[in-house]
């Protein structure tokens, strides 16, 4: 019984860590365009995003009935597999953050779980058709829909205000952008905040520490809200730079069109029954806002790298999750080894990121996220 409690505690700590990486990975979704256009100061932007994310997490505590939503056979999932899946998701989130690429935290979590479940229970525990209909198809649809919406909206925004280029027009779009971005942050909080609450609650239920069919306990809600809020507050400036400057050098009308399209698409998808990933919606709408103004504006090399990261998210997280499960399933010693490896790898990635730090102060200075130490001398300065 005591080892079971130990594993559950380890899962909860790991889940909160995942929640933290989820927060800093996704603060860029809502705020990158507002930071890039100067509608909001970087620090203020992440404070707003964090507050709204936490508010969203508290507003919606109706947790999912299953950990994976039917992607894996939940009856076969043990706390150790959840732990291994979380390890895969966290490491993939940190790797993509290091290179400054937005990638879906939900897909990373599903990928990690799939890998862990394949190792622990075999491929028959995976519902591959659900993987296609709930993950792969939406991954193609999300950026396309948001991109087309943002391209049309951007084109109109420029067309309609053509004769009215003024400081008033720019500041009007900046205000609009701040409001749409805040809506995205709030909507994001209501969906992503409960992801971790759901994982923790289901682990507590399956290991017998909580009655089946009950909602998340108060401390679970508090800790999850706090973890995602702190993650958002830390900013994820590397991803913020790519999304705000790296894909398109965003102007106020584009930022407004992109955030509005993202917000509308997220709301439509969550209310009309076809779930889409927030990250992919937001990235798609930013690319679309570049296309709507001028095709040449889009840095397609960055957009391409982003697509590769999306394609790799599921298999990469699954690979790490699978390896973690293979070791963790050997017993309590293996589980501890994996936890230590997770901490060491996370610290390692963080140390590498320090070689070329990106902070609130320099997020807008360049479109590139580099890992090497030397910052190239800007031309013409």
- Per CB under 8 A, residues contacting other proteins are 56, 59-60, 62, 129, 132-133, 137, 141, 145-146, 148-150, 152-154, 156-157, 160-161, 163-164, 166, 168-169, 172-173, 176, 179, 183, 186-187, 190, 253, 256-257, 260-261, 263-265, 267-269, 271-274, 276
Match 């971005």 to its residue by tokens. 181
Residues 278, 258: Cα–Cα separation, whole Å: 13
Match 């951007």 to its residue by tokens. 154
Q: How far is the CB of 93 from other proteins (least distance, A)?
A: 25
- Specify the DSSP element, H or E, that contains 246: none
Query: Which residues are within 8 A (CB) of 234 and not within 5 positions of it... i.e. 6 or more apart?
Result: 20, 23, 24, 27, 46
Residues 55, 185: Cα–Cα separation, whole Å: 10
Which residue's CB is nearer to other proteins, number 93 or number 190? 190
Residues 111, 159: Cα–Cα separation, whole Å: 43
Q: How far is the CB of 271 from other proteins (least distance, A)?
A: 6
Residues shown for the chain = 381
Which residue's CB is nearer to other proteins, number 190 or number 201? 190
Q: How far is the CB of 279 from other proteins (least distance, A)?
A: 16
Q: How far is the CB of 149 from other proteins (least distance, A)?
A: 4
Which residue's CB is nearer to other proteins, number 225 or number 263? 263
Compute CA 135 distance to the chain's CA centroid, rounded to the nearest angstrom: 15
Helix axis angle for 167-206 and 218-234, nearest 10°, is 140
Helix axis angle for 2-37 and 42-59, nearest 10°, is 130
Q: How far is the CB of 75 from other proteins (least distance, A)?
A: 21
The helices-and-strands tally (H runs, E runs) of the chain is 13, 0
The token pair at 66 is 């299953």
Residues 223, 58: Cα–Cα separation, whole Å: 11
Which residue's CB is nearer to other proteins, number 93 or number 254? 254
Q: How far is the CB of 128 from other proteins (least distance, A)?
A: 9
Which residue's CB is nearer to other proteins, number 92 or number 256? 256
Which residue's CB is nearer to other proteins, number 146 or number 239? 146
Handedness of CA 141, 143, 149, 152 (dihedral sign): negative
Which residue's CB is nearer to other proteins, number 120 or number 229? 229
Q: How far is the CB of 317 from other proteins (least distance, A)?
A: 23
């Amino acid at each position: 019984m005591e080892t079971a409690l130990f594993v559950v505690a380890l899962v909860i700590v790991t889940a909160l860590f995942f929640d933290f990486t989820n927060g800093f990975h996704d603060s860029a979704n809502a705020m990158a365009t507002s930071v890039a256009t100067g509608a909001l100061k970087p620090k203020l932007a992440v404070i707003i995003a964090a507050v709204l994310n936490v508010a969203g997490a508290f507003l919606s505590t109706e947790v999912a009935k299953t950990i994976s939503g039917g992607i894996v056979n939940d009856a076969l999932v043990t706390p150790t597999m959840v732990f291994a899946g979380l390890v895969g998701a966290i490491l993939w989130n940190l790797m993509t953050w290091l290179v400054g690429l937005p990638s879906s935290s939900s897909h990373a979590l599903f990928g990690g779980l799939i890998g862990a479940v394949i190792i622990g229970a075999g491929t028959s525990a995976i519902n591959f058709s659900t993987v296609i209909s709930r993950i792969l198809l939406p991954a193609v649809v999300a950026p396309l829909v948001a991109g087309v919406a943002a391209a049309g909206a951007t084109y109109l925004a420029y067309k309609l205000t053509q004769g009215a280029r003024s400081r008033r027009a720019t500041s009007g779009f900046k205000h609009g952008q701040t409001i749409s971005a805040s809506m995205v942050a709030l909507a994001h909080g209501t969906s992503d905040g409960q992801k971790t609450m759901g994982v923790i609650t289901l682990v507590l239920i399956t290991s017998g520490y909580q009655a089946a069919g009950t909602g998340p306990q108060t401390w679970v809600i508090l800790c999850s809200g706090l973890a995602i809020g702190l993650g958002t507050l830390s900013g994820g400036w590397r991803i913020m730079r790519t999304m705000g400057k790296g894909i398109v050098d965003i102007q106020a009308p584009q930022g407004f069109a992109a955030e509005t399209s993202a917000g509308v698409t997220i709301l439509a998808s969550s209310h009309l029954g076809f779930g889409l990933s927030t990250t992919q919606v937001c990235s798609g709408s930013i690319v679309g806002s570049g296309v709507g103004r001028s095709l040449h504006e889009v840095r397609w090399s960055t957009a391409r790298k982003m697509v590769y990261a999306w394609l790799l998210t599921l298999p990469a997280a699954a690979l790490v999750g699978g390896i973690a499960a293979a070791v963790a399933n050997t017993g309590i010693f293996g589980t501890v080894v994996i936890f230590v490896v997770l901490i060491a790898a996370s610290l390692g990635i963080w140390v590498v990121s320090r070689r070329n730090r990106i902070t609130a102060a320099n997020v807008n200075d360049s479109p590139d996220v580099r890992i090497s130490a030397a910052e190239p001398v800007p031309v013409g300065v």
